[in-house]
Amino acid sequence: MDFQSQPASRNPIFIMNDDLLPDLLAAVEQQLISAQTPYVKKTFDRLLKLGLGEADAKHQIALCLGDEMDEVLRTKRPFDEKSYRSSLDDLPFAEESESEETEEPPSAG
């Protein structure tokens, strides 16, 4: 998998290979209806109540799933449901404001 994240935070910023996103979204769709993953549906409903659209909520859940799958592949460990749940609990991801990205130093005047 081709994921990158900032490891210091449980609120990472992901750069994802666009080819992987449809598969992750399909997995999220399955998790939303599965009796084995009611916490995914609970997270989805919570995100909707916070004002995210369905597509954005599913996308954020897919990013958490992708991050966990990346950890599985990189560290050769089993899928950690507790870690995945923790990531879901941290949603929604904070959006960086434009002012933070383009902050200019104060002018001497």
**What pLDDT, in 10s, does the model give residues 25-68?**
999 999 999 999 999 999 999 999 999 999 999 999 999 999 99
Q: Is residue 53 in a domain?
A: yes
Q: Would you say residue 56 lies in a domain?
A: yes
According to the model, what pLDDT value does residue 96 have? Answer: 54
As for how many domains the chain has, the answer is 1
Does residue 42 sit within a domain? yes
Assess if residue 38 is contained within a domain. yes
Q: How many residues does the chain have?
A: 109
Q: What is the pLDDT of residue 9?
A: 42
Q: Is residue 64 part of a domain?
A: yes
- Say how far apart CA 108 and CA 105 lie, in whole Å: 9
Q: Looking at the domain assignment, is residue 105 inside a domain?
A: no
Q: Is 46 exposed, middle or buried (0-12, 13-18, 19+ CB in 10 A)?
A: middle
Token representation of residue 104: 């200019």
Q: Residue 54 falls within a domain, yes or no?
A: yes
> Is the Cβ–Cβ distance between 84 and 61 less than 8 Å?
no
Coil, strand, or helix at residue 2? coil
pLDDT tens track for 71-87: 999 999 999 999 999 99
Domain that holds residue 38: 18-89
Evaluate whether residue 60 is within a structural domain: yes
Helix (H, G, I), strand (E, B) or coil at 9: coil
Asked if 61 contacts 91 with a C-beta cutoff of 8 angstroms, the reply is yes
Q: What does the block give as tokens for 10?
A: 């449980």
